[in-house]
Amino acid sequence: MPDSTTARAAPAARPLMPTGVGYADGDYVPVEQLSVSVLDYGFTRSDVTYDVVHVWDGRFFRLEHHLDRFLKSMAALRMAIPHDRDAIRAILMECVRRTGLREAYVAMVCTRGRPPPGVRDLRQCRNRFMAYALPFVWIASPEKQRSGLSAVIATRPRIPPQSVDPTVKNYHWLDMDRALFEAYDAGADTVILPSLEGTVTEGPGFNAFAVIGDVVVTPDSGVLEGITRQTVIDLCRRKGIAIEVRPVTLAEFRDADEIFIASTAGGVMPVTRLDGRILGNGAPGAVTSRIRDLYWAWHRDAADTTPIAYED
Ligand SMILES: Cc1ncc(COP(=O)(O)O)c(C=O)c1O
């Protein structure tokens, strides 16, 4: 037994910050204090990439998939930071640990940063890494998911992939924000954007799927390769549900038996009304509901989850 006079007192437990924790430049701060300069090109030019992973029941889901995509996005934008993959993973873990949250929305962000004074050469910018953990974010609340969402197809197309690569996760959201106002004006919950060619792309924060007969279809290009989208593809293949990754025309989408959207911010979410048309009997369809259940069940799979080390 240690001598009580010589034993060091255990460090006082740090209070948890359940409203959110941010990280930048070596410091962990309450998320409200995490900020970016108005002169950062991430702000003035949307020259930024990011990724979002969620924590469910105390475990990251498919964290390595998100780290792969984030590192690939940074390389595509020719960004470099002083943290390697292991360091980023440790920072994300620490952000969550300091919130104490069992369900969390965890973002990693890299901005172009600022060039030295008087310089405008992008190659001289100091790229800036930030991360934060917040309480879980739902694109559609669990209550809304029980009834299903209503969506419209936007009148204007998504930014073409030839101009801004949608597989590099980005903040070029003006097309999607404008489309969201179309949805609000139509009394709908959300919006799905067409491509210039008249196929389906994606929506603000999610990939789109249709069920046509007993086949699940989702666009093959012109979209972010969502990790939730990949999980749906993987689980369909594992469970013998027919899945096609191919161009999806607006006409067949409008005519689909079921529609659902997929995102880290909420998982698999049924759409039961499109442009005012009620799908099926107006309730989430059988295929969508099955995929949604399988998706959440996957969160108990140790191979694809990383437990948070909550202990101090
Ligand atoms: C434009 C866009 N598409 C799709 C998604 C879904 O991707 P993930 O499943 O990786 O969250 C997102 C997520 O934010 C997104 O912003």
pLDDT tier for residue 3 given thresholds of 50, 70 and 90: very low
- In the chain, what are the domains? 21-135 (3.30.470.10), 142-298 (3.20.10.10)
Is pLDDT at 80 greater than 90 in this prediction? yes
Give residues (CB < 6 A) around ligand 1. 52, 202, 205-207, 224, 226-229, 262-264
Reported as a single tens digit per residue, the pLDDT across 105-116 is 999 999 999 999
**Ligand 1 centroid to residue 201 C-alpha, Å:** 12
Give the residues across from 199 on adjacent strands: 249
Task: Please say if the pLDDT value at position 5 is more than 90.
Answer: no
Q: Which of 65, 136, 169 to mutate to test the pocket of ligand 1 (most atoms within 8 A of CB)?
A: 169
Rounded distance from Cα 272 to ligand 1 centre (Å): 20
pLDDT reading at 7 higher than 70: no
Residue 11: what pLDDT? Answer: 60
pLDDT at 2: 40
- Indicate whether 8 pLDDT > 70: no
CA 212 to the chain's CA centroid: 26
At 150 the pLDDT is 98
Q: Which residues of 155-188 are buried (b: 16+ CB within 10 A; e: fewer)?
A: eebbbeeeeebbebbbeeeebbeebbebbeeeeb
Contacts of 83 (CB under 8 A, 6+ apart): 91, 129
Residue in 224, 264, 269 to alter for ligand 1 test, most ligand atoms within 8 A of Cβ: 224
Cα 137 from chain centroid (whole Å): 10
Residue 9 binned pLDDT confidence (cut-offs 50, 70, 90):
low
Residue in the structure block whose two tokens are 């790229």: 127
- pLDDT level of residue 6 (50, 70, 90 thresholds): very low
CA 51 to ligand 1 centroid distance, Å:
9
What does the pLDDT read at residue 29? 98
Whole-number pLDDT of residue 14: 79
Mean pLDDT within 109-135: 97
Task: Cite the DSSP H helix spans in the chain.
Answer: 41-44, 63-76, 85-99, 142-147, 174-185, 227-239, 250-254, 286-298
- Are 29 and 271 a contacting pair, CB within 8 Å? no
Q: Are 93 and 86 in contact (CB under 8 A)?
A: no
The chain-wide mean pLDDT, for the chain, equals 95
- Helices (H) and strands (E) counted in the chain, each on its own, are 8, 16
Burial of residue 312, with CB atoms counted within 10 A of its CB: 0-12 exposed, 13-18 middle, 19 or more buried = exposed
pLDDT tens digit sequence for 194-231: 999 999 999 999 999 999 999 999 999 999 999 999 99
Rounded mean pLDDT, 181-188: 98
Mutate to test the pocket of ligand 1, among 192, 207, 298 (most ligand atoms within 8 A of CB): 207
Q: Are 114 and 41 in contact (CB under 8 A)?
A: yes
Ligand 1 midpoint to CA 163 (Å): 18
Residue 153 is predicted with a pLDDT of: 98
Statement: residue 311 has pLDDT above 90: no
- 207 CA closest ligand 1 atom index: 4
Question: Which residues have CB under 8 Å from 132's CB, separation 6+?
Answer: 20, 21, 22, 23, 31, 34, 95, 106, 107
48 CA to centre of ligand 1 in angstroms: 15
Other beta carbons within 10 Å of 47: 20
- d(CA 301, CA 296) in angstroms, rounded, equals 10
Classify residue 140 by its DSSP letter: S
CB atoms within 10 A of CB 234: 14
Distance from the alpha carbon of residue 263 to the mean position of ligand 1, in angstroms: 5
- Written as one string, the DSSP assignment of 94-108 is HHHHHHT-SSEEEEE
Place of tokens 């007993």: 214
Measured distance between the N- and C-terminal CA atoms of the chain, rounded to whole angstroms: 22
Q: What is the pLDDT of residue 10?
A: 57
Give, using CA atoms, the residue closest to atom 7 of ligand 1: 226
pLDDT greater than 80 at residue 139 = yes
Residue 31 has pLDDT above 80, yes or no: yes
User: Is residue 13 very low, low, confident or very high in pLDDT (cuts 50, 70, 90)?
Assistant: confident
Model pLDDT, residue 210: 98
